[in-house]
Amino acid sequence: MLSTIEKIIFLLAALASLYGASQVALRISRIIRRGQGKVDWSVVPRRLFSVLLKTATFAPVFRARPLPSLFHGLVGWGFIYYLLINLGDVLEGFIPHYRFLGEGIVGDLYRLGGDLLSVGVLSGMVALAVRRFILKPPSLTAREDVFLLPEARAGIRRDSSIVAGFIFIHVGARFVGQSFRIAAHAPDTWQPAANALAKLWDGWQSSALIVAEHVAFWLALGTILAFVPYFLYSKHIHLIMAPLNFLLKPERRSIGELSKLDFEDESVEQFGVLRLEELSWEQILDAYACIMCYRCQEVCPAYNTGKVLSPAALEINKRYYINKEGARLAKGEASQQTLLEIAIPPEAIWACTACGACIDICPVGNEPMRDILDIRRALILMENDFPDQLQTAFRGMERTANPWNIASAERLNWAQGLNVPTIEQNPEPEILWWVGCAPATDARAQKTARAFAQILNRAGVNFAVLGKAEQCTGDSARRAGNEYLFNELATANVELLNQVAPQRIVTTCPHCLHTLKNEYPAFGGHYHVVHHSQLIFELIQEGKIRLAGSSSSENGESLTFHDPCYLGRHNGVIDAPRQVLMAAQQSLVEMKDHGRKSFCCGAGGGVRGGFPDYSVETSMKRVKEAETTGASIITCVCPFCWRNLNDAIDALKSKMQMLDIVEILEPIVKRK
């Protein structure tokens, strides 16, 4: 099809395109390698199939926005297929009388796929372009009060326009070119859409059709050659970086597990992150993988209650700063501004509840929450710069090993009058109950502890508690950025627990569950940890807990269940609390946001201690959502959530009632 001179021009253009792309790719590689840590390539073999499947199906995209996701899928699937189409078109252009994959069934199916997906890509792009440039939904941008680099606000729209234009020209020219080919030669029943379009060219001379087909070829393949170097520079490099993100991310026990800092290494000069090159390599890769879809922002509890935090803006700002300063960064020079100046302001840093919703929903595997917590570490450990309100909680954990500054001698006062043996009294229990700071020291949470203790006794469970020896796990300190304090608490707790050597640990607090189960292994503590809802359901299944017929549903009351972030999203415990409620014959009505998509109560991440107003604003939104279910009771399984949601109920003067599942269950558990 191509003349000799055209082949030479095409080859020269291809070489120029590949050279330009290689230079951009080399710069990207150098920038990512500026990040801390090294890739663990051993994870690749066992992840490869799942990543290929995830990439082929775009499954993560379909967790939200089903209709736009379908349009995105049409474009994405078409683009993947066009890798084959472009190869075939180049071969057909260079080899005279060559038909890619032949005229048999394989070639027929290939052409059918190309025809249908060409229509799919063009249809999807029309829908996505209308959505972005005409409908302009708020979910595709950040509020004006959110910090977003000026070049980012303008650049996203510009990049989207360029890419949309490229796709329309590339796919459209190829599709129309096929119709010219059909009109010039013969109908092709395996290309129904192009066949139908070819009828428009009836009456054209054969020579004109051949020229038109020729022009379409150059438009389709020429735009590829021109676009490839820019493609690596634009946000659409996520087509490559997203699979790499899923393939190479460090292994984690949960989305909330944080890395351990080595305070004994005297060569370490920087703890936490203040500049872009101080991020880990995968955190820099996140900036390249970001699709700029704002899904993370859409589920962020801080953003949804008017705070200036947008996890999307954080990643987008990182990317545009890299584009601006990439040449210097690739040379190994230090970035000229801190992340607080170019990516996220201090107020946004302290608004994060560490709920993990941004990580969970991201369709390309990004982890903006981790950036925020690493910046907090640097602010506290290196700059001594943090909200004054956090000082009270830190001081309590330092002096009395709990945020409420309650003396250790009072830690078992809640159990007065109950059969709650300590580890000294029962040194070999089947279950070690890690009570936690809130149930041990907070007057309201103590009711939950007492109810659970009575359930355990009625079930005949062989258990013990640490009593006065129990300390805070350090969750609040770590999420707030005080890694040194967490290190001290974790080290002491692991030493104690390893001496006790518990068979299993049960906790009524999801934050304690998460820390003991996922964070302590880095300190040498490997334990079998379950949540009290899991243990209760296990005991019901074994027949050790027998329930009487009385329940709130018999009184015409219904309840709705609030999933704590650190139980459902971080640790995947979603069914157990519901199974307990069903066993108790409760009338359960689900909120719109439940399970892994549960909306945060607002108390995590140190926000309750540092910004109590922020915290209650978030919980008020959650209570309003609960009210829409028509339920009269909110039940939960987390003392953080209980306290925050109950404060919101008081602030809203709501008629709803807050109960832990053990408070619902305890009155109907039969005594032996």
DSSP secondary structure string, 146-173?
Answer: S---HHHHHHHHHHHHHHHHHHHHHHHH
My answer on whether 333 and 395 are in the same domain is no
508 assigned to some structural domain: yes
Residue pair 237/79 in contact by the 8 Å Cβ criterion = no
My answer on whether 373 and 408 are in the same domain is no
Predicted local confidence at residue 267, as pLDDT: 86
CATH number of the domain where residue 330 is located: 1.10.1060.10
What would the mean pLDDT of 647-651 be, rounded to a whole number? 94
Residue pair 663/447 in contact by the 8 Å Cβ criterion = yes
Task: Name the residue among 633, 638, 525 with its Cα closest to residue 586.
Answer: 633
Q: Please give the DSSP secondary-structure letter assigned to residue 597.
A: G
Separation in Å, CA 256 to CA 195, 358, 370, 462, 518: 53, 11, 8, 31, 8
151: how many CB neighbours lie within 10 A of its CB?
A: 14
Partners of residue 431 on adjacent β-strands: 463
Task: Name the residue among 310, 299, 308 with its Cα closest to residue 362.
Answer: 299
Lowest mean pLDDT across 9-18, 184-193, 357-366, 389-398: 389-398
Domain count for the chain: 3
Q: Is 76 left (phi over 0), alpha (psi -120 to 50) or beta?
A: alpha
Task: Name the residue among 207, 271, 208 with its Cα closest to residue 482.
Answer: 271
Quick one: pLDDT band at residue 573, thresholds 50, 70, 90?
A: very high
Predicted local confidence at residue 370, as pLDDT: 97
What would the mean pLDDT of 245-264 be, rounded to a whole number? 94
My answer on whether 18 and 123 are in the same domain is yes
Strand order in the sheet with 529-531: 463-465, 431-434, 505-507, 529-531
251 assigned to some structural domain: no
CA distance 169 to 178: 14
Predicted local confidence at residue 549, as pLDDT: 64
Residue pair 655/342 in contact by the 8 Å Cβ criterion = no
Separation in Å, CA 104 to CA 108, 109, 111, 195, 196: 6, 9, 11, 18, 22
Task: Indicate whether 204 pLDDT > 80.
Answer: yes
> Of 357, 381, 405, at which residue does a domain stop?
381
My answer on whether 99 and 221 are in the same domain is yes
Predicted local confidence at residue 610, as pLDDT: 55
121 assigned to some structural domain: yes
> Of 355, 381, 407, at which residue does a domain stop?
381
CA distance 240 to 659: 47
My answer on whether 415 and 352 are in the same domain is no
User: Tokens at residue 601, please?
Assistant: 């109560």
433 assigned to some structural domain: yes
My answer on whether 370 and 422 are in the same domain is no
Q: Is 467 left (phi over 0), alpha (psi -120 to 50) or beta?
A: left
Predicted local confidence at residue 616, as pLDDT: 83
Task: Indicate whether 551 pLDDT > 60.
Answer: no
Partners of residue 658 on adjacent β-strands: 634
My answer on whether 439 and 345 are in the same domain is no
Quick one: pLDDT band at residue 447, thresholds 50, 70, 90?
A: very high
Tell me which residue has tokens 């998509």. Answer: 597
My answer on whether 369 and 395 are in the same domain is no
For residue range 221-243, list pLDDT tens digits in order.
999 999 999 988 888 899 999 99
Lowest mean pLDDT across 169-173, 403-407, 532-536: 403-407
For residue range 276-291, list pLDDT tens digits in order.
999 999 999 999 999 9
- In 3-state terms, what secondary structure has residue 560? strand
Residue pair 395/365 in contact by the 8 Å Cβ criterion = no
Task: Name the residue among 442, 454, 434 with its Cα closest to residue 413.
Answer: 442
73 assigned to some structural domain: yes
For residue range 595-622, list pLDDT tens digits in order.
999 999 998 887 765 566 667 889 999 9
My answer on whether 80 and 193 are in the same domain is yes
262 assigned to some structural domain: no
Separation in Å, CA 627 to CA 305, 653, 656: 17, 12, 8
Name the average pLDDT for the chain.
93
Task: Indicate whether 555 pLDDT > 70.
Answer: no
> Of 336, 359, 381, at which residue does a domain stop?
381
383: how many CB neighbours lie within 10 A of its CB?
A: 11
Distance of alpha carbon 300 from the chain centroid: 10
Angle formed at CA 649 by CA 645 and CA 651, multiple of 5 degrees? 110
Angle between helices 281-289 and 368-381 (to 10 degrees): 140
595 assigned to some structural domain: yes
For residue range 63-102, list pLDDT tens digits in order.
999 999 999 999 999 999 999 999 999 999 999 989 999 9
Predicted local confidence at residue 441, as pLDDT: 85
My answer on whether 443 and 515 are in the same domain is yes
CA distance 576 to 573: 6
Predicted local confidence at residue 604, as pLDDT: 87
My answer on whether 228 and 146 are in the same domain is yes
β-bridge pairing 463-465 and 559-561: unpaired
Q: What's the burial of 269, exposed, middle or buried (CB within 10 Å: 0-12/13-18/19+)?
A: exposed
My answer on whether 361 and 395 are in the same domain is no
Residue pair 489/516 in contact by the 8 Å Cβ criterion = no
Percent of the chain with pLDDT strictly greater than 90: 85
Separation in Å, CA 270 to CA 101, 262, 277, 332, 341: 58, 11, 12, 17, 18
Which residues span the domain enclosing 129? Answer: 4-33+64-233
Task: Name the residue among 303, 305, 287 with its Cα closest to residue 295.
Answer: 303
CA distance 391 to 397: 10
> Number of C-alpha atoms within 13 angstroms, CB side, residue 396?
22
286 assigned to some structural domain: yes
Percent of the chain with pLDDT strictly greater than 70: 98
Tell me which residue has tokens 């054209």. Answer: 204
What would the mean pLDDT of 452-468 be, rounded to a whole number? 96
